[in-house]
Chains A and B, each alone.
Chain A
């Protein structure tokens, strides 16, 4: 080994040691300048090549260039090392406690009232059966609420409705709060020719208040009028509805004769259920019958009041309590709580805003 080569080796050892010892970017840069800068130790060595003989250059050329490459590589490696260490240090410093709670999405916090949800469930089912949704005013006339529905003037059945009245106006007309959604039957017949297939959800009012009665409550009325609709069709519609609504594959229903002024024949409907578990009702099983709705063939007089000939047109109607079927399906014990707006109750019994009842996705989740 020549002295020059020994010198190179010495230089390399010194430079590599400097690189390894460089503690930061600045130190690395200083080493780079001292070795590979214009006047750096390795650059100076490269400059000596020009004065060498060809034989000498053949030996020293690769030796010096090799040195240059190794130093450059070592510089780069050390630089990466330092950069990684710096990132690691920063990341370590940036650590947070990911168990800290985040705010709940408002879409998860908000609630839809059970009555609205049930109305949407009902709309989904009856929409599938080809029914439209109809509505009518809460403040009604005696004519629409009673007379046109075949409640004769002065008949005790009127009194059974515990009606809220307003004071008579100058014309002597006394408005009232509708006691059922049935006035919409007449309003619909007045404006729409058969075939009629509607369901009517809405607020209704009676002077009554306890755990299962409220002065304001919600009813769902149904009306089918065409030239053939009969009790057998009515049974089918109501059975299909109840199965879909209570989300059970089968459900025993009992239709028994009853009386309503606006239907003839009239029937009341019980559904089979099991109430043996406290606070829980199961449908489609058990030994109890629970009354759920009233129905019947539209009374000929009601058809006449609606402007239809009862010998040409016929149909059926039914009514049920929305609050009541909500209580049955979802197990709320007290009707009064529906109207109290207690956020604890709403949060528990209410529905998430994005829980949209559909038939394809299931009525309830």
Chain B
């Protein structure tokens, strides 16, 4: 919403400065977006050319002596063809910034003649495109006066950013009312006197869609002479960014901004028969005033005549029956349109208009008739003509909403004490009608009832509660809280002093849920492993989603912002792999990325998983990447991913010693170089591995690449602890020892099976089993391998004898043989 200061002062009697007005507007909820105070035009003054001599050295230049109204005449070299003695124009002194040529003037020397300023063209002042000559003002224009002041071009333009709840402030008058309520002046009387009409309006209007059109006023003005609107009106319209068309059209635009009352004018001669307000027929078209053809549907409202649609209701008129210079009989429309239908139509058709802007917010129904009177007044004043009587159809009148309002509500919601009289006054100034509420009270024994023994029930005015009738221009106000806002914003939000929110506890305890703690821990644990945290899109290309087990119909966006952001991700991996490749394409081949975020198995809340996932590419190993004098980093592989997965799980508090790793994982992994981490037979906590070559090919990326995903929401909730005391620590006084064994087993035997078997030989004495060598070779046979393990033994009761060790070793060998078929390597 844009307006000028002088326009505002048409409705507001105020001495306040521009700065005060701008400040107050923002603080009462009419946020000022921009102010153009026209300061750029201030340095240009009216000046008279005293003499104009030919330049001694240039045929097309003249040397002027200019009276600028202060001091001695100034010498100016000028090339304009209309530069002549006696011309009165706009002068700019050295040091002035000339916006139209984007130059700050300095004292010049043009072919040997000094020039101390410039006589300007309209284009140089950005007033028009006129550049054939310099500005040529009437003889009597006062020399020395700022040109902009004289030409009324210095009217500051204010633009406010209106919130959707303020239809009343889509008019200069409404803004003036708010400022007056806020104490910045006095609102002038805005009442519109009716203009008497002669005879009934010959064109009738029928409302066939009353649900879309709660009222319609129509009036004919015969014998008008249309032409350019007066300069003052044109200047205001130009100032707010509108293009003057002709007086009739300009009047509708002017009233739209002045009073928030959009109007439409039809050229009566182009209207065939009577008007009907109806739903458009499917596929019906109309050429609108913006020169474009629109195709309508039955949920849109149209104003039609015998020829078809003449106007898109509440949004834009039709080109066919529009008014131009030849119009002599004009039909003025002032109607009410359903806000939601108007918004929907405008959105569907993609039309942004000043009428739509107002109707979708809600236009004051009570100003429908005054609006047409005001328009008629302006039409007859500016274009002459004879008005008919106004035909009002379908308007049932406005029943104000009444809100029961306890003044204490202001203090309850805002914390600030506002005297009831002040609240009452603010509401009244805003146009609310405040009446003392009459409350039915049942008196208690011993109270008032004893004095008025006739009845226990009394009707008494209550001083702390009032009935507030909401004005017709504030359709959004419908409750106590809205009235508190009105009082608060006019009284002044800045007057509310902050008050501490008292803490419930002296020391605040843990505030995070287990899942939040694990999310955070997983992030830090992975970052500590040299990985960088990425945040990638929740939506990915459909074929990526399908590749990673997703792509369900309920996870496809109906309106994705781009074709490759269409499906909610089933996994973090496709996004991370793509991110790794983007980095590789930029020349950073060795990257380690992770993300801890949501994946989607379905559209229900419980189907959103919390996953930690990561990828490593090239040689981005935890210890470092790329070449190094002490040894180059190897390519990343399945065990890097496994280590990451376990680090994340361990950080989340998963019982890592109870987890099993099964060979193989989902289809996107390398079948022989991937694993699945499980807790018990059913709970899958994660997967890891190198990727299937087909996955890489489908994603159009290259390796080496490995990755993992850990489902941190599947990690069991820790048991509640009765005490923070740690379990007792027993340190054996006997020396711990290590014994090595090498077993020859079938190639298919998993190392974990072997270490498990060895460890199970004596759970009391054996504290750890570590694989330290894997060997395959012809000496063992093609389908065999040797697995060397180191068994850590901690005697607890006494130092072990050689016989003890032999017996233990025997049990280890026996158990390994039984569980895995392995034999001690000879």
Contacts and interface: CB of A to CB of B under 8 A. Distances in A.
Contact of B520 (A120, A126, A167, A231): A120
A245 interface: no
A172 interface: no
A167 B163 CA distance: 31
B553 interface: yes
B638 interface: no
Interface in B479-535: 479-482, 484-485, 488-489, 493-494, 496-501, 503-505, 508, 511-513, 515-516, 520, 523-524, 526-535
B318 to A, nearest CB: 24
Interface in A275-304: 297, 299-300
A216 B537 contact: yes
B534 A113 contact: yes
B558 A297 contact: no
Interface in A153-190: 154-157, 159-160, 164-167, 169, 174-175, 177
Given A112-B533, A138-B538, A259-B165, A155 B29 contact: no
B538 A205 contact: yes
A338 interface: yes
B554 A166 contact: yes
B643 to A, nearest CB: 11
B51 interface: no
A326 to B, nearest CB: 11
B557 A164 contact: yes
Choose among A160, A231, A236, A352 the residue with the greatest number of B CB atoms under 10 Å from its CB.
A231
A257 B603 contact: no
Contact of A265 (B488, B523, B534, B624): B488
A314 interface: yes
A225 to B, nearest CB: 12
B524 A353 contact: yes
B164 A256 contact: no
Interface residues of A, number: 91
Given A159-B347, A175-B603, A353 B516 contact: no
A187 B339 CA distance: 31
Given A138-B608, A257-B485, A343-B583, A103 B624 contact: yes
A257 B482 CA distance: 12
Contacts of A126: 511
B502 to A, nearest CB: 9
Given A235-B498, A257-B493, A343-B591, A209 B527 contact: no
Given A106-B622, A123-B512, A229-B501, A259 B166 contact: yes
B137 interface: no
B304 interface: no
Contact of A215 (B164, B415, B482, B565): B565
B330 to A, nearest CB: 32
Given A175-B603, A209-B561, A239 B488 contact: no
A203 B533 CA distance: 16
Contact of A112 (B527, B558, B608): B527
Interface string A234-260: 011101000000000000001111110
A65 B626 CA distance: 70
B533 A350 contact: yes
Interface in B739-764: none
B415 A233 contact: yes
Interface residues of B, number: 97
A123 B558 contact: no
B29 A230 contact: no
Contact of A235 (B496, B505, B516): B496
Contacts of A258: 29, 31, 163
A64 B511 CA distance: 89
A73 B240 CA distance: 111
A130 B559 contact: no
Contacts of B557: 164-166, 177
A167 B565 CA distance: 15
B561 A215 contact: yes
Given A166-B555, A231-B488, A236 B536 contact: no
A278 to B, nearest CB: 22
Given A111-B527, A120-B520, A265-B484, A257 B536 contact: no
Interface in A182-241: 195, 197, 203, 205, 207-209, 215-216, 224, 229-233, 235-237, 239
Nearest to A339: B535
A85 interface: no
Contacts of A310: 481
B559 A207 contact: yes
Interface string B411-449: 011111000000000000000000000000000000000
A98 to B, nearest CB: 13
Contacts of A103: 623-624, 628, 630
B544 interface: no
Given A133-B512, A166-B555, A343-B591, A264 B482 contact: yes
Nearest to A356: B524
A108 B493 CA distance: 47
B164 A156 contact: yes
Contacts, number: 260
A231 B414 contact: yes
B232 interface: no
B583 A106 contact: no
Contact of B537 (A224, A255, A339, A353): A339
B600 A139 contact: yes
B714 interface: no
Contacts of B511: 123, 126-127, 131-133
A94 interface: no
Contact of B501 (A177, A233, A259, A268): A233
A135 B609 CA distance: 13
A312 B375 CA distance: 50
A137 B608 contact: yes
Nearest to B560: A164
A232 B481 contact: no
Given A127-B508, A138-B608, A265-B481, A346 B534 contact: yes
Interface in A102-125: 103-104, 106-107, 109-113, 115-116, 120, 123
Nearest to B633: A103
B287 interface: no
A300 B258 CA distance: 34
A230 B489 CA distance: 15
A266 interface: yes
B690 to A, nearest CB: 21
B479 A155 contact: no
A77 to B, nearest CB: 41
Contact of B535 (A113, A208, A354): A113
A361 to B, nearest CB: 15
B588 A344 contact: yes
A120 B530 CA distance: 20
B256 to A, nearest CB: 19
Given A215-B565, A232-B498, A256-B26, A175 B537 contact: no
Interface string A333-365: 000001111111011001011101000000000
A202 B87 CA distance: 68
B419 to A, nearest CB: 17
A267 interface: yes
B586 interface: yes
A129 B508 contact: yes
B83 interface: no
Choose among A107, A110, A340, A354 the residue with the greatest number of B CB atoms under 10 Å from its CB.
A110
19 contacts: A104-B624, A106-B624, A107-B530, A109-B530, A113-B533, A126-B511, A130-B504, A154-B344, A156-B340, A165-B558, A174-B558, A209-B561, A230-B412, A231-B493, A232-B414, A235-B499, A236-B499, A259-B29, A341-B536
Given A103-B630, A133-B516, 5 more contacts: A113-B534, A230-B414, A338-B535, A343-B583, A343-B593
The 8 closest A-B pairs by CB, nearest first: A232-B415, A257-B29, A106-B530, A265-B485, A353-B527, A259-B163, A110-B527, A341-B579
